[in-house]
Amino acid sequence: MKYIVYCRKSTDEKNKQILSIDAQIDSLKDFAKREKLEIVDYITEAKTAKAPGREKFAEVLKLIEKGVAGGILSWHPDRLARNSIDGGRVIYLLDTGKLLDLKFPTFWFDNTPQGKFMLNIAFGQSKYYVDNLSQNVARGMRYKVKSGVWPGQAPYGYLNDAKTRGIEVELEKARVVKKSFELFAKGDKTFQDVAKFMESAGVVAPHNGKKIKITTVRAMLSNRFYVGIMKWAGEYYQGNHKQFISRKLFDDVQKQVEKNIKPRYNKQKFFFCGLIKCGECGASITAERHINKYKNGTTQTFVYYRCTKKLGACSQKYVETGELEKQLREIIENVSLPQNWKDEWYKLIEKDEISEGQESQKNTGRLELELGQMDDKLNKLLDGYLDGVIDSEVYKTKKNELFVEKLKLEEDLEQILSGGSSWLEPFKECSEALFSGTKSARAKNSGQELLNLAKTVGSNFFLRDRRLSLSYKRGFAAVHAEFASHTNSALKSENLELVTPMEFESMFPG
């Protein structure tokens, strides 16, 4: 009888089990020589058998069906099958008489009902080993992630430390990642710009060495791992790895990610497209570039903004970009504070900081109590899941919600303990914008700078009858309303009692 030798190693990675197939072939040759078996072919494969779909194994079965050989010689039944489908195919070939014999140096087989029964048991044991191994690996992974250790491949900027079996910061790459976050947070960069920067820094795709893709950049900029939050099997966990991206920087980047998730590729650099809607029909405002050519050979370029009219008939006319920029500057200047308020304004902020320090002691106790209550909720949720009262999906969803709430409480507590404030720090930044508004509005800003200023002070921009309207953001709205209530513009420079920092505390969340 003729036999086909089939050898397989359990992984298709070239750097693992390099000698396993050679060792199998060597042993099988000795076995065939002792048993005086005629070998017609040696077929080898480097692929797992835990799932069907091995090309070389299928080739062996086809040769058997064609009658090229009547038997298969392999090291052990688990080399042939570790799943029920492949094992069943071998048994079926034996039942139909197309496969006459199986030989193994490490396993006895006889083509009888008893022999096929024992072979079925061997295939079942192989499948049980794979299933159990997979379950044990999953359990080990879950244990690691619950302990705060990432069980997978480290994101760019980190490395998997073979000695500690943990995640460590890779300084050079971490600098590239941090710089990428800082560039994108400014608001004037796209995913493509960040990809180009990373490419210039020598970053390539790890799997093929090619240029890094836009989707990879987007995933990196949205990866909570950089602020210590790990997501594994649909659940959030707190990581214990060192972080080099601050929470504030990450949050600033997420705001820009939302704005750039569907980037508008605008070669014409029409900065205000996407900012403004039509005040009549609600359609988007688009822009056109027109070039006027004169008889003397000179040309002049004009940019006009108008309604796209994609939602139906609209009577609105175009507005020239210069007029639009003028109105945006007026909008910014309308919420600026006079410079002679500045010194006294910041003295009031210092008083608020002292008051905040006293209040923070009370808030610390409150937050610690709420954190304890949150831990109780998480423990009760876990008990319900383990007792079978709550199903897996409901458990994961609710756990993630509570986890995010807990992180917010921890951030608030950390901010208080580090001497920060939930509203004073952002208020100082807002104050700078309020005091620099007039100067910024009157400067010869680029379209991008003017766009950024407009987004800082307001939202919901509409254009109707060639006039801009908007909703001022909280804080800026208070300044605008206060000044608008006084007809005497001198009040803006004389009456310091007009507004105070504490009056704007409510404009900041938390």
Domain CATH code at residue 163: 3.90.1750.20
Residue 266 has pLDDT above 70, yes or no: no
CA angle 260, 264, 265 (to 5 degrees): 125
Q: Are residues 96 and 185 in the same domain?
A: no
Q: Are residues 20 and 131 in the same domain?
A: yes
Instruction: Report in angstroms the alpha-carbon separations of 362 from 352, 356, 358, 410.
Output: 16, 10, 7, 15
CA 97 – CA 92 distance, rounded (Å): 9
pTM: 0.44
Confidence of residue 356 (pLDDT cuts 50, 70, 90): low
Confidence of residue 263 (pLDDT cuts 50, 70, 90): very low
Confidence of residue 162 (pLDDT cuts 50, 70, 90): confident
Q: Are residues 49 and 179 in the same domain?
A: no
Q: Are residues 135 and 164 in the same domain?
A: no
Residue 441 has pLDDT above 60, yes or no: no
For residue 300 the two structure tokens come to: 């002049």
Q: Are residues 457 and 502 in the same domain?
A: yes
27 domain residue, yes or no: yes
* pLDDT value for 481: 67
Mean pLDDT is highest, among 64-78, 343-357, 366-380, for 64-78
Task: Using alpha carbons, select from 151, 161, 1 the residue that is nearest to residue 72.
Answer: 1
Q: Range of 316's domain? A: 276-328
Q: Are residues 32 and 115 in the same domain?
A: yes
Q: Are residues 64 and 184 in the same domain?
A: no
Q: Are residues 358 and 295 in the same domain?
A: no
Q: Are residues 366 and 463 in the same domain?
A: yes
* pLDDT value for 295: 81
| Domain count of the fold of the chain | 4
For residue 76 the two structure tokens come to: 């052990």
CA 66 – CA 82 distance, rounded (Å): 24
Q: Are residues 172 and 313 in the same domain?
A: no
Task: Using alpha carbons, select from 346, 338, 365, 372 the residue that is nearest to residue 498.
Answer: 338
Q: Are residues 127 and 24 in the same domain?
A: yes
Q: Are residues 435 and 474 in the same domain?
A: yes
pLDDT in tens, 81-125: 988 899 999 999 999 999 999 999 988 888 899 888 989 888 888
| Location of structure tokens 């929470």 | 247
* pLDDT value for 96: 93
Residue 249 has pLDDT above 50, yes or no: yes
Confidence of residue 480 (pLDDT cuts 50, 70, 90): low
**Of the candidate ranges 147-156, 170-179, 293-302, 417-426, the one whose mean pLDDT is the lowest:** 417-426
User: Comparing 72 with 459, which gets the higher pLDDT?
Assistant: 72
